[in-house]
Amino acid sequence: MNLKKTLTPDTVWVDLRADTKQGVIEEMVDRLVAAGKVRDREAVLASILEREAKMSTGMQNGVAIPHGKTDSVRSLVAAVGINKAGVNFDSLDGSPCTIFIMTISPTQRTGPHIQFLAEVSRLISQPAERDKLLAARTHAEVYEILTGK
């Protein structure tokens, strides 16, 4: 999957300000609403928080992948945010998360969601790529690192 088909410059941020798990999720959803990518903020937020309540999406190496399914989106919506200070996200390795990859997909469509996560996971599994993301100073730099633009 080409990440350019899913990510857009207005869904990539280097300046997440929230300092809690709930805050990061809400901030990212709010920014997706502002970008016109989400029709129903409350439905999207509820789907992500419901998924998060089942098991944390804080992975390891400073990466969290909050996600949810709702028919409030027509197709896969994705966003990437950076919080260089780090946020406790109940990650598998116990470390704070700094790179947040959010996906929201329609209830009945799993293919694009899985393909997107596979492609992003391949990229961020490499320490050098994570370091580049964390060193980025602008939204455009993050977008370029992720999409190869």
Q: pLDDT of 80-103, one tens digit each?
A: 999 999 999 999 999 999 999 999
**What are the distances in angstroms from CA 143 to CA 31, 93, 136?**
16, 27, 10
Q: Is the residue at 35 inside a domain?
A: yes
**How many domains does the structure of the chain reveal?**
1
Q: Three-state SS for 127?
A: helix
Token code pair at residue 108: 């009945």
Whether 123 shows a pLDDT value over 90: the answer reads no
The span from the CA of 35 to the CA of 16, in Å, is: 15
Q: Is the residue at 148 inside a domain?
A: no
Q: Is the residue at 114 inside a domain?
A: yes
pLDDT in tens, 26-68: 999 999 999 999 989 999 999 999 999 999 999 999 999 999 9
Q: What is the pTM of this model?
A: 0.94
What is the CA 38 to chain-centroid distance, rounded? 14
The span from the CA of 11 to the CA of 34, in Å, is: 10
Q: Is the residue at 125 inside a domain?
A: yes
Q: Is the residue at 149 inside a domain?
A: no
Q: Is the residue at 147 inside a domain?
A: no
- The conformation of residue 61, written as its DSSP 8-state character, comes to T
Domain of 102, CATH number, reads 3.40.930.10
Q: Is the residue at 73 inside a domain?
A: yes
Q: Which amino acid is at 13?
A: W
Strands 67-69, 97-105: pairing kind: parallel
Question: What is the residue range of 10's domain?
Answer: 3-142
Q: Is the residue at 137 inside a domain?
A: yes
Q: What is the set of active-site residues?
A: 67
